[in-house]
Amino acid sequence: MHPTSLIIQWLHTRWKKCLELIAWLTIFFLLYTKHEYLSFTVMFIISFFMIRPILPSTLKIAKNIYVIKFYNIVLWFISYTISLKILSYQTGAVEEHLKFSPAVLAFPLSLILVFAIILFLSFFMLTLLQFLSLSSIFMTSNVKKKITESKFYFFSMRSFYIIPIILPFILSVAYASGPLFKIALLADSTFVSDCGEKKKDKMYLRLDSHSCLVSTLDINIFSSNPELIKVESK
């Protein structure tokens, strides 16, 4: 067979791999030329198409009763506890005065923890595939075929592409951490308090027996910081 025909036949059977290779080369070129946002856009588009075949499996895992229980019990508890400690440390508030605010911060923090777990599992599966590839010399052809045609192998090969899809949402949560922190403080603040006079544009959060935080409800509520005042508890 003519070499040109062999090349055409190879391209016909491997065209998806060729396109994926070209896409990654494009991403590396854009990164090299310092076009970071454009490179990430290309990666996001690639990832969107690459995860489509494993999307049903991914949603099935997300809806699994044990996964939901793990999130509701373990991750939520960890997120709530960390949020409580962060709020107490940052504001100086006694933990017993913080009831609702940790829950406000716990949700975005739990999403970050979910992303960290997905990141770990994705790299773990890629490492496992690399190990299987290195061990393939000791396998029979039937064993190799069963592995490469298995659903786990197919899912593991594409699981990495979940990360670029989720990453923009995680970065958005991180970017909004400042306003979220102030919203969290408002969740435990009250209009009626021994910290000060009742006003429609003032909310108070008792930190301890000696001090309070005063939030002013105006257009600058998310750009300005609450005022710390010294007021003895009555």
Angle between helices 76-91 and 101-135 (to 10 degrees): 130
Q: State how far the Cα of 34 lies from the Cα of 30, in Å rounded to an integer.
A: 6
Q: The pTM is what?
A: 0.79
User: Nearest Cα to 205, choosing from 219, 217, 192, 218?
Assistant: 192
Mean pLDDT, rounded, for 71-81 = 93
Per the CB < 8 A criterion, the answer to whether 175 and 70 are in contact is no
Mean pLDDT, rounded, for 185-196 = 89
Residue type, 76: W
pLDDT tens for 94-135 read 888 898 999 999 999 999 999 999 999 988 988 888 888 777
Q: State how far the Cα of 190 lies from the Cα of 205, in Å rounded to an integer.
A: 7
pLDDT at residue 105 in the model = 92
The model's confidence at residue 51, banded by pLDDT at 50, 70 and 90, is confident
Query: How confident is the prediction for the chain on average, in pLDDT?
Result: 83
